[in-house]
Structure 1
Amino acid sequence: MSGVARRTVVSAAGAAGLAAALAACGGGDTEDKGTEEQAGATLARTGDIPVGGGKVIAGQGLVITQPKAGEFKAFSSKCTHAGCAVSGVKDGVIVCPCHQSHFDASDGSVKSGPATSPLPPTPIQVVGDEISLG
């Protein structure tokens, strides 16, 4: 029986090594293309972002705001207090529902805690009516 068990272990190890080698060979191109595609992908349209408000883009981990007409900002949607996702933007304030931290929609700074650190900014670009990663 020990011969069968040894062969099984050796076969499994060989298969795992082959899978790792194949992943390493093809990983670079896929990763680069994914980054390039994300950089140009439309996250939202300018009409989707109300003045004084914003929109959480959950799949990207972002919140996009429009503090003043025609001025668009983006920040991480992960609250700096406990890591919860912010829930929305209203009256110039980004709100975290977990512990009620509030962040300024124009610069991500903390308006009220318990968070003590601002939301990190994310570069975006606006071309026409499309907002994408910058």
Structure 2
Amino acid sequence: MTTSEETACGPCRRTVVATLSAAGFAAALTACGAGDDKDASEPAGAQEPDGDAAAEGSVLAATSDIPVGGGKIFKDAGVVVTQPTEGKFKAFSNRCTHKGCPVSSVSDGTVNCPCHGSKFDVADGSVKDGPAPKPLPAARITVTGGSIKLA
């Protein structure tokens, strides 16, 4: 093989490898999100709020809407609000720290991700069952009277 042939084919190999790598990455992303809703493939925090999403300072819920030992998911606002003990309210991102899937339920003291089974404690967002590597990030809320608002 001559030097000119190496130069002519070198980019060809690099192009093929780069194309296959990009295609493999795209296939992996598609496979990971298969069967999930469209938001599941987005990274945490990347969700664009809908037109009716709760704006900062707007009322999310009444305190009476959040069960003691449980919580409620506010998809449009991107948060889950919990009440671990009577009168104590916490808020966390609604995106699992494993693959960014939106959490789907709050039950038995945990916030639950349907994609890979991660569970987070309603009191502090810590991982109770993996594969999530980190706790749910805290979100800021204020509780005034009987209203819970995004801070």
TM-score by length of 1: 0.71
4+ residue segments displaced more than 2 Å: none
> What's the offset of the Cα at 1:90?
1.0
- Listed as ranges, the matches of 1:10-25 within 5 Å are none
Counterpart selection for 1:113 from 103, 106, 130: 130
Give identity over the alignment, percent: 57
- Listed as ranges, the matches of 1:30-109 within 5 Å are 38-109=55-126
SS of aligned partner of 2:55: helix
CA distance in 2, matches of 1:71, 1:47: 12
CA distance in 2, matches of 1:93, 1:73: 13
Question: 1:126 — aligned with what?
Answer: 143
CA distance in 1, matches of 2:129, 2:56: 32
> What's the offset of the Cα at 1:61?
0.6
TM-score by length of 2: 0.63
- Size of the aligned set, in residue pairs, is 98
Q: Any stretches of 5+ residues in structure 1 without a counterpart? A: 1-36
SS of aligned partner of 2:76: helix
CA distance in 1, matches of 2:99, 2:118: 10
> What's the offset of the Cα at 1:98?
0.7
Q: Which has the higher helix share?
A: 1
SS of aligned partner of 1:47: helix
The letter of the residue matching 2:123 is S
> What's the offset of the Cα at 1:39?
2.3
The letter of the residue matching 1:65 is T
- Contact 2:125/2:135 (CA < 8 Å) preserved in 1? yes
Q: Root-mean-square deviation (CA), in Å?
A: 1.1
